[in-house]
Amino acid sequence: MKMVNKYVCFSFLISLFSAIFCYEATSQSYNAFNGSAYAGVLSNFINPASAINTPYQWDFSLLGLQTNTSNSGISIANLNRANLTPKNIKYILYQPTTGSDNRNIDNCSDLHLFNFRYALDELQSVSFGMRVRTCNHIGASPFKYNPTIKDLNSFLSYNADRSKIPFNLNVSNEAWTETDLGYSRILIDNDENRLSVGGTLQILRGLSGVAINMYDITYQAEPNRNILTSGGITNIYSANYSEMDTQYSTIKNLQRFKAAAKFGIGASFGFEYIVKKNIFDEPFSPQNYYWKFGASIMDIGSNNFNTNRFSFDVNTPKDGLTDTALINRFNSPYDSVSNITNTLWQTFQKGSHLKSTFKMSLPTRLVLTIDKSLGNDLYVNLMGNINFYSHDITDIYHVKAVELNRLTLTTRWETEHWGIYLPLEYTERKQVLIGGAVKIGPLVVGLHNLNWLNHLRLEEFEGGGYLALHFTPKIKKRHHYLDCYDGATNDKSE
């Protein structure tokens, strides 16, 4: 285990840092807003066609942040209030889950700022927003683990019965900023139904691209040592990490890091169909409907990166290469990224530098929604994410990113200023997560998994939360002609 940790120390920590940073400071599913007519500009995150179907002429989200995690790879212990301090955080234990199953960790997080929507008229609206997003994945083929394992030698010895079965480990991190320019328009609007379409142009700037692939690793187990017999390691990460230098301040490093990021283009498209609930032939209000159906293709495109000079591929271990030899090499006092690279080149028979550029796709997916009004400000929404890609880094020059595959059923009671939301998420691991959220004026705050309210269940590291500050004008009341008639009658009697 020590060898693995030494080797991936740089790129792996980058990946984890991005996930943890966004988890503490900041995915795509603000479940409280699923299908809501009050979501306004925030509905663009699910379907760009929804932005016109809101009762507001304008709305503005100052800040929003969210993270969502699916975890079958890491167990966390000693997670209590006493250890959630800078002084005691070192006592929190992170280690692989026990057992012998596949292990996967997926995290999607985002931070959005200054998202604004404005209705040009009753048929069309425009929107603008800025976001920082990240998708992270760690996946490993089956292996056995228990807490007594302390290093690579004990790990391989404990898994000696699986030594001939190829082992694979892959890690990827993609982080980027995007500026969103949205447009939505009504195509059909009559007494029975309403059809809108919309799209978002995403101007991307790739901040971080990391992919590590340890593939087809096999070994021969012997007393007190293990001999690597096959396999290889591919490591690729973006060149902007080379701009970081200890001689500069943190602010200067961040400025250099961002300046080296490359631009890209993404896009999202969708439509929304509403079956109206007309009352005495009143003008249609987006809150009044029987059914609402939506479909969208989100996040088409990819981020582009220049390859860092330490990106490489090595394969086929040299004859007689043992775990002990690797441990000794990586315990060198001159341990650094360049030393790790040189060590791997020296211990494998074949090695090559990687091409100068690579891509990482956006988490392209199909989003389907059905929303039903039950009356009395009560609604139920069903939303499904269907990813276009699976996790795949066999093509190291075009790494795939995915969103969390989850089927979400959300019951909500909401008015202009108040709301209670109860989402149920069915996960890829065949688990049901019970979430909850509330709206109090402009503030919406929620959890994907209410078990997180219990710190013992928080250690499962499954789920996450979200928060948004969403400001709207007061909805103009639409009067029916009978209201005017009654008023005229009353005036006459007086």
Q: How many domains does the chain have?
A: 1
Indicate whether 221 pLDDT > 70: yes
Indicate whether 188 pLDDT > 70: yes
Give the pLDDT score at 239: 86
**Comparing C-alpha atoms, which of 110, 104, 81, 102 is closest to residue 18?**
110
Sequence-ordered alpha helix ranges (H) in 425-480? 455-458
Instruction: Evaluate whether 333 touches 346 at the Cβ level (below 8 Å).
Output: no
Q: Mean of the pLDDT values across residues 283-289? A: 81
Of 147-151, 356-360, 392-396, give the range with the top mean pLDDT. 356-360
Instruction: Evaluate whether 217 touches 168 at the Cβ level (below 8 Å).
Output: yes
Model pLDDT for residues 74-125, shown as the tens digit of each residue = 888 777 777 777 777 777 777 888 777 788 899 999 999 999 999 999 999 9
Model pLDDT for residues 309-346, shown as the tens digit of each residue = 888 899 999 998 888 888 777 765 555 566 677 778 88
285: confidence class by pLDDT, cuts 50, 70, 90: confident
pTM of the model: 0.84
CB-based contacts of 387, cutoff 8 Å, min separation 6: 363, 364, 365, 402, 403, 405
How many other β-carbons are positioned within 10 Å of the β-carbon of residue 92?
14
Of 126-135, 153-162, 443-452, give the range with the top mean pLDDT. 126-135
Give the pLDDT score at 29: 65
Q: Mean of the pLDDT values across residues 49-53? A: 96
d(CA 313, CA 341) in angstroms, rounded, equals 10
Give the pLDDT score at 281: 54
280: confidence class by pLDDT, cuts 50, 70, 90: low
Q: Which domain holds residue 301?
A: 2-493
Computed over every residue of the chain, the mean pLDDT equals 83
Give the pLDDT score at 18: 39
Model pLDDT for residues 388-438, shown as the tens digit of each residue = 887 766 788 899 888 888 899 999 999 999 999 999 998 887 888 999 999
Give the pLDDT score at 488: 42
Instruction: Evaluate whether 407 touches 384 at the Cβ level (below 8 Å).
Output: yes
Instruction: Evaluate whether 97 touches 145 at the Cβ level (below 8 Å).
Output: yes
d(CA 123, CA 180) in angstroms, rounded, equals 20
Query: 61-74 burial, b if ≥16 CB within 10 A, otherwise e?
Result: beebbbbbbbbbbb
- Could you tell me which residue, 257 or 137, shows the higher pLDDT? 137
| Sign of torsion over alpha carbons 281, 282, 284, 289 | negative
Sequence-ordered alpha helix ranges (H) in 162-309? 250-259
Over pLDDT 70: what percentage of the chain?
85
CB-based contacts of 274, cutoff 8 Å, min separation 6: 53, 193, 194, 195, 196, 286, 289, 291, 292, 293
Instruction: Evaluate whether 455 touches 465 at the Cβ level (below 8 Å).
Output: no
Instruction: Evaluate whether 56 touches 472 at the Cβ level (below 8 Å).
Output: yes
